Amino acid sequence: MKKLGKDFFLRENVVDISRELIGKFLVTNFNNTLTSGMIVETEAYNGVVDKASHAYNGKRTKRNEIMYGEGGNTYVYLCYGIHHLFNVVTNKKDTPHAVLIRAVIPKDGTEVILKRRKQKSIIRKISDGPGTLSQALGIKTVHSGVSLSGKVIWIEERGFEFAKKEIEAGPRIGVDYAGKDALLPYRFRLNDNSIKDITNEWYS
């Protein structure tokens, strides 16, 4: 297990970072309660030139200001007043790139995850969306701006590697307002067969 260093997040190509996060592990440690999951779906948001981004055309608000900070921090916002959506800020200061983590496969702390999600067993829907994964791992908007170099939220490399054909690329979800930018292949997902193999190995 190796925590991803700041250099990983400071790189310029947010699309590459989004793809490379597939297979990494998102880990939270709140009040000495550790939970984690393998990242299996992400979406890249390419800053001021991306109509789907909160920072499109240089927009700055109290909510999105963290995006303009240095890469390697968290950006968590509330969607529809219900869902806490977890993003990783990338690139250098004043370049507001971010990667939305859309889905994880639970690994560590599954009993806690089940309690948070009010489920009796690990099933696909337990963390197969950006809102449910945040609930599963205990992430809320109060965690926006947390450094991924710290001991509260971080991302680890655990030696999992996947072939290019196992990672599917396609348009992002729920950003129809972005016009042509909505069609960009900025969403990455581990294919269903690979996800099934992992879940069967861990929970069968």
Instruction: State the CATH number of the domain containing residue 90.
Output: 3.10.300.10
CA torsion 118→122→124→129, rounded to 10°? 50
What is the C-alpha separation between 116 and 17, in angstroms, rounded?
A: 29
Which carries the bigger pLDDT value, residue 71 or residue 204? 71
pLDDT of 80 strictly over 80: no
pLDDT of 1 strictly over 90: no
Tokens of 50: 């991306």
pLDDT, tens only, 150-185: 999 999 999 999 999 999 999 999 999 999 999 999
- Out of 25-29, 91-95, 200-204, pick the least confident: 200-204
Tokens of 164: 């290019």
For the chain, how many structural domains are there in total? 1
Residue 202 burial (CB count, 10 A): 13
Domain extent, residue 140, equals 2-203
Query: What 3-state DSSP class applies to 48?
Result: helix
pLDDT of 97 strictly over 80: yes
Confidence category of residue 124, pLDDT binned at 50, 70, 90: confident
Segment 161-170 long-range contacts (CB within 8 Å, at least 24 positions apart): 161/23, 162/22, 162/23, 162/190, 162/194, 165/191, 166/190, 166/191, 166/193, 166/194, 167/19, 167/22, 167/191, 169/19
